[in-house]
C-alpha cells in the first residue's frame, strides 16, 4: 500500500490544481482568441468565484438590484461555472430568439433530473431530437387551434369550483388546486378527480421539489456532480434523502395514470381523452420503436398533468389576493360582466366583449409571476455578443420578474392595475404583453400556455360573476392585513393569507346552486 507524506500530498494537490488552472486558461484562450471581456458583474474570489454573493432566496429580487449596478446583463462564476442573468426584453430577445440555435439547451441538472427523476419532463431535457419528439407530441394536443375542444371541461370545472366555494369558502386554496387537477385529469386521462384525489397530493409534493431544485446551483450536487454517489445515511445528506422521496412520488405520477388508462383501453372502459388518442396512434407491432413512441407519449401526458394541475393554481390564488386588496378593480370587472352576462354564467364566446376582464387577466400574469426567474438555458458554444465573450456552457437565465416590473414600461409596477393595458376601452397593443416573459423564452416557451389562459379566463369570470372577495376581519372587526408576498423557488406561490368570499346577492347564490354538481 502506498502512503504519502503530508509534504507529498501538498505537492500532488498543487500539481492537480495547477493543471486545472492551466487547462482552464488554455480552453478560455481557444474560445476567446480576441481576448474579449466577460459581461459585467460582481467580482468573485479565486476558485469559489461569487459563491458568497450567489443569491438563493428570491434571487430575482437580488438580481434586479444588481441590474441597477451593472446593467441589464450580469455575468459571474461559482466554482468555475458561469452564470449570465438577463434583465431586459431586449437582451432576452437577442439571446433566446435571434440566437436560439445556441441558447436553447438546458444545463445538466443533477439534482432534478438524475436524482429526482425529472429527466422524462421535456421542460428540463437537453436540447436535441429526444426533446423535440416530446415537445411535438405535447404541442399536437395543446396548440391554439385545438385547445377549444377542452372548453366544455373547463366550463364544467369552473362551475363546480364556485359550488365548492359556496359550501366552504374558507378552503378556497384547496378548492383552487382541486379544480385545476380535475380539469387536467379529465382532459388528459379522462378520469374524475373524486376517484383519484391522491394524485393531487402527489403532484403538489413533486412540484414542491421542482420549486426547490429547479435552478442550477440550488443544491451543491449540481456544481459537484460526484456528490450524487453519497449515500443518504451520510451525515449532512438530507438533500439525498429528499431526492429519494421526490423520485419515488415522481415515478408514481409519471407511470400510474398512463398505466391505468392503458388497462381501461384493454377493458374497453376508457373515456376519450388525450391519453387514449395518443395510445391509438402508437404502432401495434411490439417493435423497439413503438415502445419508444409509447414512452414519449406517456411522458408528454405526465408533463401536462403536472403543469396543468399546479402552475395555474399560483396565478388564480394571486387573483384572489388582488381582488381582496383592490376592491375598485373587482367592482369594475363585475360591472363589465353584469353588462354582458345579465343573469347567466359566463361562456367562452363572451370573451371578445370583455376587454376589462382580458386586461385583468394580463395583470394577473404580470403582477405576481409563477416563474419569476425563467428556467435556465445554456450556451451550446462560445459566443460573442455586444463586444462581450460568453463562454461555452454558461447558464443563461432570463429574469422575467424584472422584465414585467420595469417602471419604464409599467407605471407603478407593484400596483395591480388592469387599466394599464387599456386605451379607449380596448386592449392597447402598444403596451408590453406579459406573455413575452411569463411563459419562458425562445424555443423553450411553454406550449401549454393556451390551455392555461383558457382555464384562467373561465375560472376568474365565474368567480367575479357570483362572488365578492374581501379581506377577512379579526375579532375586533378590523381588516386582517394582506401582504402580497410570494414564496421562494423556481415555482412561486402567494404566501398564506385570509379573505372572505360571499355571494354577491341571493340571485347569484341561486345561480351557483343551479350551475351543476360539486366536484
Q: Give the integer Cα–Cα distance in Å for 139 and 444.
A: 12
Taking the CB of residue 101, how many other CB atoms lie within 10 A of it? 12
Nearest residue to 360 via CA among 340, 333, 327, 335: 333
Nearest residue to 493 via CA among 325, 348, 321: 321
Taking the CB of residue 483, how many other CB atoms lie within 10 A of it? 10
Q: Give the integer Cα–Cα distance in Å for 456 and 505.
A: 24
H/E stretch holding 330 reads helix 327-341
Q: Which three cell numbers stand for residue 143?
A: 396548440
**Pairing state between β 73-78 and 377-378:** unpaired
CA distances from 321 to 176, 210, 254 (A): 13, 24, 32
Paired with 471 in beta bridges are: 499
Q: What angle do CA 302, 304, 308 make, to 5 degrees?
A: 125
Count of H helices and E strands in the chain? Answer: 17, 10
496 contacts 317 by C-beta, under 8 angstroms = no
Q: Give the integer Cα–Cα distance in Å for 141 and 74.
A: 38
Residue 312's contacts (CB-CB under 8 Å, 6 or more residues apart) are 180, 370, 452, 455, 456
Q: Give the integer Cα–Cα distance in Å for 6 and 10.
A: 6
**Is 499 marked within a binding site?**
no
Q: Which three cell numbers stand for residue 38?
A: 466577460
**Pairing state between β 395-398 and 81-86:** parallel
Q: Is residue 423 helix, strand or coil?
A: strand
3-state SS, one letter per residue, for 17-41: HHHHHHHHHHHHHHHCCCCCCCCCC
State the binding site for heme.
Answer: 446
Give the residue ranges of the annotated binding site. Answer: 446
Amino acid at each position: 500500500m502506498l502512503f504519502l507524506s503530508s509534504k507529498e500530498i501538498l505537492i500532488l494537490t498543487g500539481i492537480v490544481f495547477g493543471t486545472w488552472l492551466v487547462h482552464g486558461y488554455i480552453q478560455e484562450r481557444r474560445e476567446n482568441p480576441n481576448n474579449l471581456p466577460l459581461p459585467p458583474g460582481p467580482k468573485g474570489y479565486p476558485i469559489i468565484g461569487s459563491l458568497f454573493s450567489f443569491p438563493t432566496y428570491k434571487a430575482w429580487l437580488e438580481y434586479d438590484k444588481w441590474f441597477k449596478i451593472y446593467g441589464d446583463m450580469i455575468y459571474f462564476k461559482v466554482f468555475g461555472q458561469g452564470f449570465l442573468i438577463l434583465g431586459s426584453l431586449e437582451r432576452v430577445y437577442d439571446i433566446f430568439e435571434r440566437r436560439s440555435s445556441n441558447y436553447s439547451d438546458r444545463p445538466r441538472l443533477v439534482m432534478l433530473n438524475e436524482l429526482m427523476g425529472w429527466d422524462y419532463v421535456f421542460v428540463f431535457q437537453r436540447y436535441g431530437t429526444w426533446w423535440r419528439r416530446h415537445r411535438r407530441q405535447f404541442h399536437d394536443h395543446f396548440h391554439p387551434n385545438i385547445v377549444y375542444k377542452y372548453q366544455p371541461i373547463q366550463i364544467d370545472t369552473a362551475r363546480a369550483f364556485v359550488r365548492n366555494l359556496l359550501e366552504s369558502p374558507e378552503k378556497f386554496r384547496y378548492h383552487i388546486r382541486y379544480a385545476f387537477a380535475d380539469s387536467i385529469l379529465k382532459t388528459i386521462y379522462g378520469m374524475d378527480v373524486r376517484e383519484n384525489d391522491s394524485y393531487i397530493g402527489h403532484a403538489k409534493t413533486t412540484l414542491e421539489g421542482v420549486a426547490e431544485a429547479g435552478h442550477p446551483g440550488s443544491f451543491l450536487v449540481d456544481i459537484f456532480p460526484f456528490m450524487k454517489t453519497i449515500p443518504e445515511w451520510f451525515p449532512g445528506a438530507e438533500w439525498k434523502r429528499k431526492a429519494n422521496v421526490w423520485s419515488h412520488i415522481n415515478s408514481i405520477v409519471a407511470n400510474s395514470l398512463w398505466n391505468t388508462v392503458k388497462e381501461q383501453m384493454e377493458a374497453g372502459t376508457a373515456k376519450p381523452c388525450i391519453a387514449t388518442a395518443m395510445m391509438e396512434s402508437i404502432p401495434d407491432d411490439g417493435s423497439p420503436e413503438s415502445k419508444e413512441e409509447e414512452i414519449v407519449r406517456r411522458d408528454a401526458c405526465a408533463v401536462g398533468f403536472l403543469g396543468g394541475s399546479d402552475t395555474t393554481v399560483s396565478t388564480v390564488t394571486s387573483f384572489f389576493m388582488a381582488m381582496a386588496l383592490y376592491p375598485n378593480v373587482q367592482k369594475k370587472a363585475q360591472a363589465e360582466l353584469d353588462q354582458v352576462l345579465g343573469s347567466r354564467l359566463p361562456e367562452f364566446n363572451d370573451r371578445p366583449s370583455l376587454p376589462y376582464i382580458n386586461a385583468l387577466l394580463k395583470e394577473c400574469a404580470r403582477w405576481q409571476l409563477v416563474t419569476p426567474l425563467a428556467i435556465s438555458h445554456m450556451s451550446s458554444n462560445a459566443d460573442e455578443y455586444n463586444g462581450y465573450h460568453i463562454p461555452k456552457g454558461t447558464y443563461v437565465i432570463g429574469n422575467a420578474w424584472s422584465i414585467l416590473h420595469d417602471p419604464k414600461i409599467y407605471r407603478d409596477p407593484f400596483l395591480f392595475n388592469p387599466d394599464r393595458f387599456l386605451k379607449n376601452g380596448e386592449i392597447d397593443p402598444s403596451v408590453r404583453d406579459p406573455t413575452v416573459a411569463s411563459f419562458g423564452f425562445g424555443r423553450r416557451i411553454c406550449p401549454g400556455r393556451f390551455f392555461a389562459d383558457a382555464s384562467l379566463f373561465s375560472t376568474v369570470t365565474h368567480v367575479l360573476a357570483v362572488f365578492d372577495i374581501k379581506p377577512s376581519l379579526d375579532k375586533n372587526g378590523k381588516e386582517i392585513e394582506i401582504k402580497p408576498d410570494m414564496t421562494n423557488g423556481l415555482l412561486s406561490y402567494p404566501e398564506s393569507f385570509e379573505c372572505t368570499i360571499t355571494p354577491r346577492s341571493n340571485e347569484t347564490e341561486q345561480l351557483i346552486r343551479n350551475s351543476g354538481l360539486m366536484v
